[in-house]
Amino acid sequence: DTAVSQTPKYLVTQMGNDKSIKCEQNLGHDTMYWYKQDSKKFLKIMFSYNNKELIINETVPNRFSPKSPDKAHLNLHINSLELGDSAVYFCASSRLAGSYEQYFGPGTRLTVT
């Protein structure tokens, strides 16, 4: 009965590789998000999707691309990985876009070597 799930939980890869992180929510929510949490625990929003439309796109490198095949999924694809991409990435969802509480996945720890 997991609400927001992410795979994989851990991802270790070399610089220059391309990788994807998957996210699924079974809450019936309309909006999903991707966050990056750095080593100092700062949590920064990267993207959000509402009904398959990108509604927030922070100034992240275009090597990062969100892909939403349907309302329940928002995957994060990263091209040409760099050392600075190492972080924990969290997926989240909310009932609607806006000021509603968000439900977070368990996170994916990405390590780029």
> What residue ranges bind another protein (CB under 8 A)?
4, 33, 35, 40-45, 48, 56, 90, 92, 98-99, 101-107
Least Å distance, CB 111 to another protein, is 14
Distance CA 105, CA 81 (A): 22
Helices (H), 1-113: none
Distance CA 81, CA 113 (A): 9
Strand pairing category for 64-70 and 73-78: antiparallel
Q: Give the Cα-Cα-Cα angle 105, 39, 65 (nearest 5 degrees).
A: 55
Give the residue with the Cβ less far from another protein, 28 or 41: 41
Give the residue with the Cβ less far from another protein, 15 or 36: 36
Least Å distance, CB 43 to another protein, is 4
Least Å distance, CB 32 to another protein, is 13
